[in-house]
């Protein structure tokens, strides 16, 4: 299966910025990272099969021989991209403040949703790479959830568990329920920042988050027991 995604503004900026680096002499590590940055943009726009080492070399302003000096094979370059991208995402999640135990589920859901959408709005490269990896059966797909283990996701799961224990929420599977919320966010980001050519403002993001969280909370909340007409509680 082949899909076509236009190179995003973020990808174009990444290519332009790194092509300028060829005008100065780089250390081995700097050159390696420059090649990775350029390759990320091309893989995110064309996929593993569509992005050739010749195109990567041209965009980076180096020869293919330089590419293979740093990476023995194209697969090795893709592996390096995966590690590089996951490390960057992991650093972002680690920079988050640990959620307070006292935070309620609604606040946790909104905070996580807003952070996740904002990151993909600013740079949709990660989610584009994930989509191509899923279609082309690369290992990035297997490691996708590894880097989305935000402290907020763990806090959401624990808040659901507490709510179930207190009889506030239905006896749902906390782990699966948390992932279901995440999958909804991921689909929104794909539709907004990858599959659509129309730009959307952040107000639409906020509306979507409020609506999704409202539906989510309502769906897992245990309905209140209604008294009978004579004022007695049902048995």
Is 170 found in the same domain as 115?
yes
pTM for this predicted structure: 0.71
Q: Residue 157: its pLDDT value, please?
A: 94
Among 78, 107, 123, which residue terminates a domain?
78
> In CATH, what number is assigned to the domain containing residue 170?
1.10.357
Q: Tell whether 225 is covered by a domain.
A: no
What's the domain range around 37? 9-78
Q: Tell whether 187 is covered by a domain.
A: yes
Q: Residue 153: its pLDDT value, please?
A: 86
Burial of 85 (0-12, 13-18, 19+ CB in 10 A): buried
Give the 3-state secondary structure percentages of the chain, helix then strand then coil, rounded to 5. 65, 0, 30
Q: Tell whether 3 is covered by a domain.
A: no
Q: Map residue 41 onto helix, strand or coil.
A: helix
Q: What is the pLDDT along the chain (235 residues), one digit of tens a residue?
A: 334 444 555 555 554 455 554 456 778 889 999 999 999 989 888 887 888 999 999 999 999 999 999 999 988 998 888 888 878 877 776 676 666 666 799 999 999 999 889 988 888 888 888 777 777 665 666 665 555 567 788 899 999 999 999 999 999 999 999 999 999 998 999 888 887 776 667 889 999 999 999 999 999 998 866 655 655 555 5
Is 128 found in the same domain as 194?
yes
Is 129 found in the same domain as 46?
no
For 138-161, give one letter per residue: b (16+ CB within 10 A) or e: bebbebbeebbebebbebbbbbbb
Q: Residue 47: its pLDDT value, please?
A: 81
Q: Tell whether 102 is covered by a domain.
A: yes
Q: Residue 41: its pLDDT value, please?
A: 87
Token pair of 78 as six digits: 């893709």
Is 102 found in the same domain as 70?
no
Sign of CA dihedral 36, 37, 38, 39: positive
């Amino acid at each position: 299966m082949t899909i076509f995604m236009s190179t995003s503004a973020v990808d174009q900026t990444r290519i332009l910025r790194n092509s300028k680096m060829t005008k100065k002499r780089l250390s081995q590590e700097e050159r390696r990272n420059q090649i990775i940055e350029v390759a990320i943009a091309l893989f995110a726009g064309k996929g593993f099969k569509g992005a050739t080492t010749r195109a990567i070399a041209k965009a980076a302003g180096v020869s293919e021989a330089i590419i293979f000096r740093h990476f023995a094979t194209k697969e090795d370059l893709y592996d390096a991209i995966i590690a590089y991208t996951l490390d960057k995402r992991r650093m972002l999640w680690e920079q988050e403040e640990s959620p307070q135990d006292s935070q309620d589920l609604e606040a946790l859901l909104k905070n996580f949703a807003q952070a996740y959408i904002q990151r993909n709005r600013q740079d949709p490269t990660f989610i584009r790479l994930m989509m191509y990896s899923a279609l082309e059966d690369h290992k990035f797909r297997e490691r996708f959830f590894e880097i989305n283990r935000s402290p907020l996701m763990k806090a959401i799961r624990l808040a659901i568990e507490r709510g179930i224990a207190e009889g506030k929420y239905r006896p749902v599977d906390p782990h699966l329920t948390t992932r279901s919320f995440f999958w909804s966010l991921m689909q929104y980001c794909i539709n907004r920042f990858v599959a659509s050519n129309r730009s959307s403002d952040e107000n639409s993001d906020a509306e979507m988050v409020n609506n999704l969280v409202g539906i989510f909370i309502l769906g897992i909340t245990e309905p209140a027991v209604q008294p009978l007409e004579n004022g007695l509680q049902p048995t």
